Amino acid sequence: MIVIMTVIRKAFKFRLDPTTEQAQQMVEFAGANRFVWNKALALNLSRLENKQALLWYFELVFWLGLWKQSEEYAFLKAVHSQPLQQTLKDLSRAFSDAFDKTQPLKRIPRFKKKGAGGGAAGGAGGGARDSFRYPQGCKLDEKANRVYLPKIGWVKYRNSRQVIGDIKNMTVSRKGGHWCVSIQTEYEAQTSPHPSTSMVAIDLGVNRFATLSDGSYLEPLNIFKQLQEKLAFAQRRLSKKVKFSANWKKQKKKIARLYERIANARHDFLHKASTLISKNHAMVVVEDLKVRNMSKSAKGDLANPGRNVKAKSGLNRSILDQGWGMFIQMLQYKQTWLGGEVIKVNPQHTSQTCPECHHVSKDNRTAQSRFKCVECGYTENADLVGALNVLARGHRVLACGVETLVLTMKQEPLGSSDTRPILAA
Ligand SMILES: [Zn+2]
């Protein structure tokens, strides 16, 4: 089989949590950037008017050096030089695009205003907000949730998704009242782009292994139940045998084999399930298990005894608990391979928030499997509600996480009767 490898370029956007001092520096950097853009643009526009040749990147960089040396524009020295040069590169590109006859929609670059600059129509760096870009020198420390921006230092960010590939550049921009970083990467993958363009969210649960935001779900395989019963039986028998006797040892071996069978069945199940989801969806949003384990009650499963959830799900749960982490890992590498992605979101209150009116209440969860909003009366399968809320959070992550954003979900209303298992149990 011939596998064609393609280079995939991707941008990963995160919200930054700079210190007051760092935020001030960012304001200065963005301001200097805007200044350099406008200054160089004015220079070129006057040359155009006087029918003189335009200044291109290397000439503009020379001019930048002169401005820096002048007393008037000494503030430019406080800013890292590379983002400023990037701006000049963008301006040069915008000018060459503007005169490119094959691209009729391009316009002459425009001046940038504070907070909402004009820039080139569609031109790189001509975005509609304060920003500056580093072509190199940035570092990413995912474990400590921080990025290194030259001359600003290590800045905390809200780590919501794994960054895949080699970092090519980083752009810092302001959106509303906060700062975001967009990390541009490149990596090789099997196909490009992902065969699908859809986005789906997954709610991981006990009764259903996984519920998808499109209404489909995965049930744990029956073989788990059978093997668990066998295991429980075998363990009872072991307890009745004389320790270290020949029979006891034999029984011990039997139990070890059962564990192995369960592990194999689970591995097989997780592989099938992750392949199925990965093939069909370019973006997969999941709950961040690290956060979820810290706040187990948020899920409401065991905290809400309802119908002896605890007794029913004991072993099943422990088996699946270990499985969830593995499942997400598998999803992650399969998505990377296919050119898709996995996004992790904060799982808090996903089971208690109403997807319709966004009312958050424990009372919204009447029984283990039913959700009924005490505010607006919206009723749905509880696991599906979890998945819909996870999906909404995924959308917010892609938009650089505006916390107050109204959740917009253009989902068809799904009765629980519409849901169907997508992997035969
Ligand atoms: Zn509601």
pLDDT at 91 over 90: yes
State residue 127's pLDDT score: 45
- Which DSSP state fits 184? E
313-326: average pLDDT: 62
CA angle 244, 246, 247 (to 5 degrees): 100
CB contact at 8 A, 316 and 209: no
State residue 16's pLDDT score: 95
pLDDT at 391 over 90: yes
- Say how far apart CA 76 and CA 82 lie, in whole Å: 12
Give the lowest-confidence range in 165-179, 181-195, 365-379, 396-410: 396-410
pLDDT at 415 over 70: no
Chain centroid to CA 34: 30
Average pLDDT, the chain: 80
- Say how far apart CA 199 and CA 340 lie, in whole Å: 10
**366 CA to middle of ligand 1, Å?**
13
- Which DSSP state fits 74? G
State residue 392's pLDDT score: 92
pLDDT at 403 over 70: no
How confident is the model over 253-268, as pLDDT tens digits? Answer: 999 888 888 888 888 8
For residue 139, the one-letter residue type is K
- Which DSSP state fits 219? P
Task: Show Cβ contacts of residue 420 under 8 Å, excluding neighbours closer than 6 positions.
Answer: 215, 216, 217
DSSP string for residues in 221-257: PHHHHHHHHHHHHHHHHHHHSPTTSHHHHHHHHHHHH
Helix (H, G, I), strand (E, B) or coil at 135: coil
The β-bridge relationship of strands 283-287 and 341-345 is: parallel
**373 CA to middle of ligand 1, Å?**
5
**354 CA to middle of ligand 1, Å?**
5
- pLDDT-derived band at 228 (thresholds 50, 70, 90) equals confident
pLDDT at 29 over 90: yes
State residue 316's pLDDT score: 53
State residue 305's pLDDT score: 36
What positions carry a catalytic annotation? Answer: 203, 287, 383
- Say how far apart CA 94 and CA 124 lie, in whole Å: 7
The β-bridge relationship of strands 153-157 and 6-17 is: antiparallel
How confident is the model over 119-173, as pLDDT tens digits? Answer: 333 333 444 478 999 999 999 999 999 999 999 999 999 887 888 889 999 999 9
In this structure, which long-range contacts are made by residues 53-57, counting pairs with CB atoms below 8 Å and at least 24 apart in sequence?
54/95, 56/92, 56/95, 57/88, 57/89, 57/92
**395 CA to middle of ligand 1, Å?**
20
Name the more confident of 105 and 37.
37
**379 CA to middle of ligand 1, Å?**
9
For residue 423, the one-letter residue type is L
**pTM of the predicted structure, to 2 decimals:** 0.60
Give the lowest-confidence range in 79-88, 161-170, 202-211, 248-257: 202-211
Name the more confident of 9 and 61.
61
